[in-house]
Amino acid sequence: MGSLAVSRLASEETLPSVSIADQVAMIARKELAPHALAIDEGTIYPDALLRKFGETGAWGSHQPENGAADLRCAIQSIASIGEVCGATAFMAWCQNTLVWYASNSDNPKLVAKFANKFASGEILGGTGLSNPMKSFFGIEKLKLKGRKVEGGYVVRGVLPWVSNLGADHYFGTIFEREDEGGGTAKGGPDIVMFLADCANPAITLQPCKPFLAMDGTGTYGVQFRDVFVPDELILAEPAGPFVKKIRAGFILLQAGMALGLIKDCIQIMDEVDAPLGHVNRYLPQQPVQFRELHSEFEKEAMALACDPYNADDSYWRRVVALRLRAGDASVAAAHAAMLHCGARGYLKSHRAQRRLREAYFVAIVTPATKQLRKMLAGDER
Ligand SMILES: Cc1cc2nc3c(=O)[nH]c(=O)nc-3n(C[C@H](O)[C@H](O)[C@H](O)COP(=O)(O)OP(=O)(O)OC[C@H]3O[C@@H](n4cnc5c(N)ncnc54)[C@H](O)[C@@H]3O)c2cc1C
């Protein structure tokens, strides 16, 4: 994958510049790869590595400057991580969305206090937007409710899954106002987007039952028991226009997870070509087809990533269509890798079966395949 050079040479004598994505790829290969199995098994949550990626600038390159933002480097970095470990690529996406929310907020106190700390990896966290994203498309109701009080809101409710969390982490999510002051022009309740502080004693992180994959991602059920959310943690109020602004970036960043995974599935197929190519060539799906798809998706993702605030409907539909195709292709590539590997890939110790389990996550994480299809059918609330 090509990469963007972000640092300039200070002088002729200094070392050649290494892009953020290249540094991320190097750390992924050397330091993440040996832990991919333990992360998959859920015995490790790689917080130290996430902070190390942050030090390279991996979580900060997409912060807006003068009203424009460029997500290319962030997507490339997630892809480099995803080539090695799908769970860590997902956590990279979580961290990047947290940065995306904070750095796009109109709340100056929040931006000053958090945006750079999230971007550097000093503070880790994620996003609880699955339920709100589903609610915007009429799939389910908002699970968090809030009421206005002096200096902020009081929030209650439960989110079933939020990832990249720990005792001192933060995540962005949305509640619906249940007090009389909140109300949209259309007569529905206002929605407010805020940062949840996991250290708040009224927030409980409940461990989830084991998953098919992603067990090392710090995923918890989150319970809000009348949590006081001060004004300084409000990301956007009302949240409707803010969600419209950040939603393309939210989805586009997920392309990195798919690109990395598909690339490794191609590598897996290539690795067994020497011993098994004479019979694998009868399989209907070959690495060459996935190489073409990968390069097509990469080109489209890079084009869309330069313009994440584009409000045209045609742009939005391209983002959703790419996301849908990338999820489908992830599952198809991992399935093909399994068939190419045969018994080798059926061993628990082989990464082909891990990639298959990870691929299903790309297809079901919000917006899931079924939601994307509903969105393309034009069914928005
Ligand atoms: C490992 C993992 C990590 C995730 N991390 C995040 C995250 O960081 N942030 C985030 O916002 N979302 C997260 N999610 C949720 C994810 O993005 C999707 O929303 C979820 O996979 C379901 O999406 P769906 O559209 O297929 O909904 P469906 O599965 O069709 O429906 C979802 C709804 O069904 C109900 N439901 C189904 N099964 C269960 C169950 N076992 N327990 C409780 N309720 C159930 C709930 O009401 C839920 O809202 C995570 C999910 C998983 C599996």
Mean pLDDT by 10 residues, the chain (381 residues): 33 58 96 97 97 97 96 98 98 98 98 98 98 94 97 98 98 94 67 98 97 97 98 97 97 98 98 98 98 98 98 97 98 98 94 97 98 86 47
Cα 366 to middle of ligand 1, angstroms: 8
Would you tell me which CATH number, out of the four given (1.10.510.10, 1.10.1060.10, 1.10.540.10, 3.60.15.10), belongs to the domain 20-123? 1.10.540.10
| Domain ranges for the chain | 20-123, 126-242, 246-376
- Residue-level pLDDT at 182: 65
In whole angstroms, what is the distance from residue 162 CA to residue 256 CA? 19
Nearest Cα to 296, choosing from 286, 304, 307, 308? 304
Q: Does domain 126-242 have CATH number 3.20.20.70?
A: no
For residue 364 and ligand 1, the question of a CB distance below 6 A is answered with: yes
CA nearest ligand 1 atom 52, residue: 161
- Residue-level pLDDT at 1: 30
Three-class secondary structure assignment of the chain: CCCCCCCCCCCCCCCCCCCHHHHHHHHHHHHHHHHHHHHHHCCCCCHHHHHHHHHHCCCCCCCCECCECCCHHHHHHHHHHHCCCHHHHHHHHHHHHHHHHHHHCCCHHHHHHHHHHHHHCCCCEEEECHHHHHHHCCCCCCCEEEEEECCEEEEEEEEEEECCCCCCCEEEEEEEECCCCCCCCCCCCCEEEEEEECCCCCEEEEECCCCCCCCCCCCEEEEEEEEEEEHHHEEECCCHHHHHHHHHHHHHCCHHHHHHHHHHHHHHHHHCHHHHHHHHCCCCCCHHHHHHHHHHHHHHHHHHHCCCCCCCHHHHHHHHHHHHHHHHHHHHHHHHHHHHHCHHHHCCCCHHHHHHHHHHHHHHCCCCHHHHHHHHCCCCC
CA nearest ligand 1 atom 21, residue: 365
For residue 114 and ligand 1, the question of a CB distance below 6 A is answered with: no
- Residue-level pLDDT at 11: 36
Cα 26 to middle of ligand 1, angstroms: 32
For residue 107 and ligand 1, the question of a CB distance below 6 A is answered with: no
- Residue-level pLDDT at 216: 97
Cα 131 to middle of ligand 1, angstroms: 8
For residue 366 and ligand 1, the question of a CB distance below 6 A is answered with: yes
In whole angstroms, what is the distance from residue 139 CA to residue 26 CA? 41
Q: What is the value of pTM for the model shown?
A: 0.94
Cα 130 to middle of ligand 1, angstroms: 7
Cα 342 to middle of ligand 1, angstroms: 32
In words, the CATH class of domain 246-376 is: mainly alpha
Cα 160 to middle of ligand 1, angstroms: 7
Q: 224 near 139, Cβ under 8 Å?
A: no
Q: 256 near 92, Cβ under 8 Å?
A: yes
Nearest Cα to 366, choosing from 310, 306, 324, 330? 324
For residue 228 and ligand 1, the question of a CB distance below 6 A is answered with: no
- Residue of 100, 174, 357, 365 best suited for mutating to test ligand 1, as the one with most atoms within 8 Å of CB: 365
Cα 354 to middle of ligand 1, angstroms: 20
- Residue-level pLDDT at 18: 79
CA nearest ligand 1 atom 12, residue: 130
Nearest Cα to 27, choosing from 59, 62, 56? 56
Cα 292 to middle of ligand 1, angstroms: 32
Ligand 1 atom at shortest distance from the alpha carbon of 159: 11
- Residue-level pLDDT at 17: 65
Cα 288 to middle of ligand 1, angstroms: 34
- Residue of 130, 143, 174 best suited for mutating to test ligand 1, as the one with most atoms within 8 Å of CB: 130
